[in-house]
Amino acid sequence: MTRETEILKVLKPYASAFPNVKMQPEAWPIYARALSIQLTPEEVNAAMMKLLNTVKFFPTIAEIIEAANSIRETAQESTLPDAGEAWQEVIRQARKNGLERPWTFSCPEVQKALERFGKVELMMVEEKQTNIARAQFMRIYTEVVQSQKTERENNAVLDALPNTRAKIARGKIVELAEARRA
């Protein structure tokens, strides 16, 4: 049995829990294909169990993937700090280590956000400018997290496409990105 078939077997019974579902027959294979790129049947099942409690209509593919990713992060204890927690982390590091000692981070996203914000700039923030700096850092951190999430999603899709043209295009995109960095 293929992964798509297994996902359909898990997914279809949930439609009965949503009385207003009007799923076209040709939509089921689309759901199965899209979900099989990133999720296992077990993850689809867990996501649907969560969504039964949170949505009023049969969930979209995006809602199922989002719920599954949230459950996966919780299970792996790999949830990222929210923007406020990331700000507190860099403030603690600034007070503890200053510019002289190396800083440690809970995740690469916090480090990348600080690199974009600037460690020296953070250390030079005057007390009356703290709220502005916090808002700027939190916006940068949110952008970093969203950018990396988008990159993971795009890579999963590109890796799953059977079309070799997509893999070639991905290579060209990587080459262009590397050329820009150089």
The tokens 């250390």 sit on which residue? 123
What pLDDT does 79 receive?
77
Mean pLDDT is highest, among 18-27, 106-115, 166-175, for: 106-115
- The CATH number covering residue 70 comes to 1.10.8
Among 34, 56, 75, the domain boundary falls at: 75
What pLDDT does 111 receive?
96
Among 75, 92, 107, the domain boundary falls at: 75
**Would the pLDDT of 152 be above 90?**
no
Host domain of residue 21: 3-75
Among 16, 41, 75, the domain boundary falls at: 75
Q: Please indicate, yes or no, whether residues 90 and 162 belong to a single structural domain of this protein.
A: yes
Q: Please indicate, yes or no, whether residues 70 and 100 belong to a single structural domain of this protein.
A: no
> Confidence band (pLDDT; 50, 70, 90) for 44?
very high
Measuring CA to CA, which residue among 106, 112, 56, 62 is closest to residue 85? 106
Global pTM value: 0.67
32-41 pLDDT tens trace: 999 998 899 9
Q: Please indicate, yes or no, whether residues 62 and 137 belong to a single structural domain of this protein.
A: no
Q: Please indicate, yes or no, whether residues 147 and 176 belong to a single structural domain of this protein.
A: yes
55-105 pLDDT tens trace: 999 999 999 999 999 898 888 876 789 999 999 999 999 999 999 999 999
What pLDDT does 53 receive?
94
Q: Please indicate, yes or no, whether residues 116 and 162 belong to a single structural domain of this protein.
A: yes
User: Number of folded domains in the chain?
Assistant: 2
Reading the block at residue 161, the tokens are 């496409």
Which residue intervals of the chain are DSSP H helices?
Answer: 3-11, 27-38, 41-52, 61-75, 83-97, 108-117, 119-123, 130-160, 164-181
Q: Please indicate, yes or no, whether residues 152 and 64 belong to a single structural domain of this protein.
A: no
For the chain, the maximum distance between any two Cα atoms, rounded to a whole number of angstroms, is 63
Averaged pLDDT for residues 118-128: 93
